Structure 1
């Protein structure tokens, strides 16, 4: 094993050195090449725009503006010219000037009045698209980039839930305790939480293509290490590599879609991305359960390695999108504050779900996390060029939807934990049966994702949020009525209804919040939103599991008092059981087992009551959302 470890370590070191060399040596030449190409490109048609478009900096745009306005193709302009007054011309260029003037005025004053299919709207779209700082490579298109991104993110997100079911078997094979094995999950989560806040810095420093290929390569390499691992240490190394890749891929997907699609098309595009973000976690437990029951657990990681290689091949051919980079200086102190702060908070909430909120490690972790998060926030708002720009919180179109999104995530993640516990621990369903019950709901969310996204583009977020949170609240309330006789089909139906409601809110609310930001702040808003979503999921899980455990203990104590053996009814019942079974102790054991089950089910129901209250809060906040126009930025 020592030899294998050395070989793997050397291979990893060589690959990392090669990647670092690729980043450092070729960065300047790539930027220079992009600038060279951008000077010779025009926006003469939609096809040439999508295949050749490159944004120019303010200086080059101003110098070539006059030439652009004289062309017979679709015209473009800078922010200074769009805000100025154009004089109408009666010449043959009158229509073009009218398009430009209509675009500059209607963009701010009459956004809702423009028909999205009208010629004015098309010109407006091209003007706004031209101001996005990105460029497609040769042979690339929005559709190809979309496929490559979704494929890569699907396997990365699937990985997060695959290990849940297989963990007990892995613990046995490695001869480690459950607490030690849990670090395969906790370590992955912590690395994710650490990387997401610095993603805005990475997006400004490196191209989307380079980040995607590096992240996917690290994830694929980590999958291979996990598959080959024969000890906990080696597998932990593989999980860290997987986490680094996934931690970059998740915010990268959102950022790419927000860049290559204009605001009125982002809903549908993000709905497609939602297929990966919603369906993958639900498929994970079912797939993992099937593999563990029929094969060795390492088959999962070999499968992810093979799919990772396929994803890399697709990305190499199709994922050719580059953005204008600024090569910012790394804020080392900010990264340290962020790493300790978010890492400690995530660890604290994770341990609170496993232990108690009053345990020393939970209290210390949460206190340290809060202190360093405050230090990080203070540093970022005082920096001239912050790593994570807190200016995004000034936009109400971003802040309120983000808060609603966090609350929904708390309810969603808690429900995904509680139902499997109820099904497997209390109803004796297998992991595969438990996963299959959740699968139809996830598929519904996947199918509804693009539809809900299209509705977002058409009617705005407020109607969708009210409908979605309303259905989610009702279905969550129905889950407070579980008992030992609740049928499998009934639970599945309730979960499908709950998932249907969530499909109207999950991706649309996130898209609406990012849409409200100007292009320069989208990477920062995306990083903050993803970080808060992950924190909310951890908080929701810890809170609901704690409520379930506490209420179960209280119910057991209450029932134990009621089941006093001096009670004449209890004594008669025990005597009847003893007569039937020939053993009084056996009768007592059955009663105690029944009491334990009854208390546990009431504990689950109590947790779902809290989840219902959380969902109701999201519904009430949705009433305060504003009209569609409020969630489309008027800035560039």
Structure 2
């Protein structure tokens, strides 16, 4: 364990940098609208364009990692991300900021899939739950502390620092990766699946765009339907192409494993419940309770604490008892907390809200990385580089689905309120919307009964 700790910390720092930046932007949108004298629709593209570029580049991570080595690609990604962050801080127009955010995503998109694959490979098989649990800490804490840090920087310094903060963190991440990540020989014989490399970015970016567009314009909007159609068609063509390739871009053959398929569907339901709920937390605290971004961020500190406890305990229990009992307890905690949140109003006490958030955090900690580890363990070890982009891409899409479905239902609830509605009625609309995220959690809870204890990875499928 001591031997791989430096590698683990290096990857965790890089992942924290990327995920923190992804979440820090949400709170900054109103400030950027005022700063650039723009409108919400335009500034929203600062987030949307980043997400689209992220979705496009993630599928390529496996091939680049095999061809140029994981360490080289990890370092290159961090450097590109740091340079793009500096450009974002210097942006003078919304258009410049959108372009620089796309460059940021092209660098940041490969960090997580490459980093997770590296750590998984060097971890002792009997300690993978504990190791991956530690790696999951930045994945859980960054989305929680991102809004707090963003609110503080905007309120007490200026918006430029939400990007400049990436420089010192990025330099530390680069140094740790350069110093501790293991070097390996590039696979020069690896041929690029050119058609797959063209189809994958189009398919994943189109699907994510359609979900974002549906959240703003509805599912019957022509842009929504057009991008959804393009995404589905190119995804089917991509799947057909990958299954007949000797060296596919993404190793889709792992879906022949029932353990892998069941595990990843369960993870999707869990992610939709989690990310939809996190969106509601922020909106409820600021719109219904009237809190500032910084005050709203402080409310989720118990969630962060319980996430950290859950992920450390969950990793050790995973190694000892397998995934099923941990996933059941974690998702039960999440579902119970979401059920409690269906009863919130604007007059709900701070203790009730923070306690509910804390149990959501416990559920996050116990399930998120443990399910991911379970899915990776069901794949042959030599295919992990090509499997982590699948899980990361799917997480990006399913998280977007969860957020969009939740936001659309909330918007419908608010539109159905009287024109002169009270804050109490607004609070009830948020409570009703938590039933949507609860439904995803309940589906995930049912699926946990069909999990089997983790076993040795299967032989490579052909």
Question: Is structure 2 residue 360 aligned with structure 1 residue 536?
Answer: no
Question: 1:270-281 to 2 correspondence within 5 Å?
Answer: 270-281=132-143
Residue 116 of structure 2 is aligned to residue 254 of structure 1? yes
Please state if 1:472 is matched with 2:334.
yes
- Give the Cα–Cα distance (whole angstroms) in 2 for the partners of residues 361 and 398 of structure 1: 34
Alignment of 1:97-116 (within 5 A): none
Aligned to 1:586: none
Counterpart residue number, 1:333: 195
TM-fit CA distance, 1:523: 1.9
1:635 to 435, 440, 459: 459
Deviation per CA, 1:578-619, whole angstroms, max 9, x where unpaired? xxxxxxxxxxxxxx242xx34433332222112111111100
Which residue pairs with 1:551 in the alignment?
Answer: 413
Pair 1:427-2:289 in alignment: yes
**Could you give the per-residue CA deviations for residues 47-78 of structure 1, whole angstroms, max 9, x where no partner exists?**
xxx9xxxxxxxxxxxxxxxxxxxxxxxxxxxx
Change (3 A) 1:472 1:521: same
Note the residue ranges of structure 2 that are not aligned, 5 or more in a row: none
* Separation in 1, partners of 2:316, 2:189: 36
Residues 390-429 of structure 1 show CA distances to partners (whole Å, capped at 9, x for unaligned) of: 1110112211111111001001110011121111112111
Contact preservation (8 Å) 2:306, 2:359:
no
Q: Does structure 1 retain, via aligned residues, the 8 Å contact 2:84–2:104? A: yes
Flag the 1:248–1:599 CA change in 2: closer, same or farther, 3 A. Answer: same
> Is residue 503 from structure 1 mapped to residue 365 from structure 2 by the alignment?
yes
Q: Does 1:449 align with 2:311?
A: yes
Q: Tell me which residue corresponds to 1:521.
A: 383
Instruction: Find 2:431's aligned residue among 601, 605, 612.
Output: 605
Out of 604, 613, 617, the residue aligned to residue 443 of structure 2 is 617
Q: Which moved more, 1:354-363 or 1:160-169?
A: 354-363
Distance 1:359 1:609 in 2: 26
* Deviations, residues 561-588 of structure 1 (Å, cap 9, x unaligned): xxxxxxxxxxxxxxxxxxxxxxxxxxxx
Q: What is the CA deviation profile of residues 240-292 of structure 1, one whole-angstrom value per residue up to 9, with x for unaligned ones?
A: 22211210101112101111113211111111111111101110001100111
CA distance in 2, matches of 1:303, 1:536: 29
- Shift of residue 486, structure 1, vs aligned partner: 0.2
Determine if the alignment matches structure 1 residue 219 to structure 2 residue 81: yes
Q: How far 1:524 moved relative to its partner?
A: 2.2
CA 1:168–1:319: 2 relative to 1, 3 Å: same
Relative contact order: is structure 1 or structure 2 higher (C-alpha 8 Å, sep ≥ 6)?
2
Per the alignment, residue 351 of structure 2 pairs with 489
For 1:372 and 1:550, the matched residues in 2 are separated by: 31
Specify the structure having the higher radius of gyration (Cα): 1
- Per-residue CA shift, 1:468-502, capped at 9, x if unaligned? 11111111111100112101221011110121122
Determine helix, strand or coil for the equivalent of 2:184: strand
Deviation, structure 1 residue 326: 5.0
The Cα of 1:237 is off from its aligned counterpart by: 3.0
SS at match of 1:357: coil
State yes or no: 1:368 paired with 2:192: no
CA distance in 2, matches of 1:293, 1:468: 36
CA distance in 1, matches of 2:370, 2:233: 33
Q: Is the 8 A contact 1:221 1:238 kept in 2?
A: no
Distance (Å, rounded) in 1 between the aligned partners of 2:416 and 2:28: 32
1:141 deviates by: 4.1
Q: Report how far residue 204 of structure 1 moved.
A: 1.6
Task: From 242, 253, 258, give the equivalent of 1:396.
Answer: 258
User: What's 1:350 paired with?
Assistant: 212
| Aligned pairs for 1:45-56 within 5 A | none
User: Is 1:190 matched up with 2:52?
Assistant: yes
Please say if residues 549 and 603 of structure 1, whose CA atoms lie closer than 8 Å, have aligned partners that are also in contact: no
1:266 to 121, 128, 133: 128
How many residue pairs get aligned? The number is: 460
Provide, for residues 56-104 of structure 1, a one-character-per-residue CA deviation record: whole Å limited to 9, x for no partner: xxxxxxxxxxxxxxxxxxxxxxxxxxxxxxxxxxxxxxxxxxxxxxxxx
The residue that corresponds to 1:405 in the other structure is 267
Q: 1:467 to 1:196 in 2, by over 3 A?
A: same
Residue 181 of structure 2 corresponds to 319
Per-residue CA distance 1:5-44 (angstroms, 9 max, x = gap): xxxxxxxxxxxxxxxxxxxxxxxxxxxxxxxxxxxxxxxx
Instruction: Provide the TM-score with structure 1 as the length reference.
Output: 0.70
CA distance in 2, matches of 1:249, 1:327: 23
Q: Retained in 2: the 8 A contact 1:255–1:526? A: yes
Among residues 61, 70, 82, which one is paired with 1:199 in the alignment? 61
| Kept in 2: contact 1:472–1:498 (CA 8 A) | yes
Aligned to 1:504, what secondary structure does the other structure show? helix
TM-score scaled to structure 2, two decimals?
Answer: 0.96
Task: Answer whether contact 2:140 2:365 (CA < 8 A) is retained.
Answer: no
